[in-house]
Amino acid sequence: MQFTAAQIADLLKGEVDGDPQVMVNDLAKIEEARTGTLTFLANPRYTEFLFTTKATIAIVQRDFVPAKPVPKSLTLIRVDDPRHAFTQLLERNERLTTDKKGVEQPSYVSPTAKLGKGVYIGAFSHVGDGVVLGDGVKVFPGCFIGNDAVIGAGSLLHAGVKVYHRTAIGARCVIHSGAVIGADGFGFVPDATGVYEKMPQVGNVVLEDDVEVGANTTIDRATIGHTVIHKGTKLDNLIQVGHNAEVGAHSVVVAQTGIAGSSKVGGYAQIGGQVGIAGHLHIGDRVKIAAQSGIGANIADDAVVQGSPAFAIGEYKRSYVHFRNLPEIVQRIAELEKEVEALKAMAASGTKKDA
C-alpha cells in the first residue's frame, strides 16, 4: 500500500516539511533507504546519513535543524519523538500484513469451538473441542490448539505454534513460530528401585494480556494449578519456563534463559540471556540479572546481580578485576613463597651456628 507524506503526518500528528503529496510504499533504515521508502532519524550518530539518504520521506525531531542541505527529493515529517513515531508505523505495517479473516482449507475446527468476529485460521491448523477464540484472533498455518483452550481478543499465533489443552491466553498476545505452550512439566519421581516414574501434570498455563512469547520458547503446564506469565511480559526466543513457575508483570526475559519449576519472578524484572534460575526461588520486583548468571538463591527487590553463582554486580565487577589479574597474582605468590623458604633456610642455618 502507498501513503502520502500528508497522510503519514496526520497519523503521527506531525508537520510536513516538503512535498505533502509525495508517496512511499515501504520502510527502511536511513543508511539503506531507497527511493519510495520512509525512514527516521532518532540517534544523532546517524545524522550524516540524512544528507545522502535516498529515502523519499524521513521522520525527524520537530525542532531538528540540518547542518547542511538535505536532498531536494527528501520530504521531512517533524514529530515530537521520531523513534516512537516510527514504531507506530511499524505496528501499523504489521497489522496490515497480518490482517486476514476466515478459515482456510484444509484445516480442522471442532463443531464445539467458538469463534469470535473477524477470526482467521490458516491452512493445516487444528482447533480442538471447546476452544474459544476471541474477536480478531489470528491463527496462522500449521498451528495446533488443544481442547478447551481459550485465546483472547486480538491475539496472534504465528505459523507452527502448539497450544496444549486448557491453556488460557489473554488479549493481544503474540506467540511466535515454534513456541509450545502447555507441554508436560518435567515431573518424575524415583521409586524404591531408583526407576523414575512420571507424575501426571494436570494443571495449565495462563498467559495474561499483552504477553509476547518468542520463537521456540516452551512454557510447561503446572503439575497442579497454573504456570503464569503476567500481563505485559515479553519472553524472547528459546526460553524454558518450568511447571508452576511464575513471571511477574511487565518483565523481559532474554533468549536461552531457563526458569525452573515453582520459581517466582517479580514484576518489572530484566533477565539477560542464558540465565539459569533454579527451582523454588523467589526473585523480587525490578530485579536485574546480567547475562549468563546462575541463580541459586532468592533475590531481594531492586537487586542487580551477575555471575554464577550470582551476587551483587558491584562486588562482581571488583572481583572480576582480581580474576583477570590472577596469573600475575599467582606468580607473585610463588615468588613470595620462594623468598619465605629462603628466609626460613637462612634462619635455620643461623640457629645451627649459634648452637
Q: Which residues are catalytic?
A: 243
End-to-end Cα separation, the chain, in angstroms: 104
Q: Reduced to 3 states, what is the DSSP secondary structure of residue 217?
A: coil
Q: Which residues 6+ apart lie within 8 Å of 257 measured at CB?
A: 236, 239, 240, 271, 272, 273, 274, 275, 276, 277
- What CA–CA distance (Å, rounded) separates 181 from 305? 29
Q: Reduced to 3 states, what is the DSSP secondary structure of residue 112?
A: coil
**DSSP letters spanning 142-176:** T-EE-TT-EE-TT-EE-TT-EE-TT-EE-TT-EE-
Indicate the pairing of strand 57-61 with strand 156-157. unpaired
Q: Say if residue 331 is exposed, middle or buried (CB neighbours under 10 Å; 0-12, 13-18, 19+).
A: exposed
Residue 105 is given by DSSP the state S
Residue 228: in which H helix or E strand, if any? Answer: strand 226-229
Q: State whether the Cα torsion 89-94-100-101 is positive or negative.
A: negative
- What CA–CA distance (Å, rounded) separates 241 from 217? 8
Indicate the pairing of strand 196-198 with strand 188-190. antiparallel
The alpha helices in the chain, defined as continuous H runs, are 5-12, 47-50, 82-97, 313-324, 326-354
Q: At what angle do helices 5-12 and 82-97 cross, to 10 degrees?
A: 110
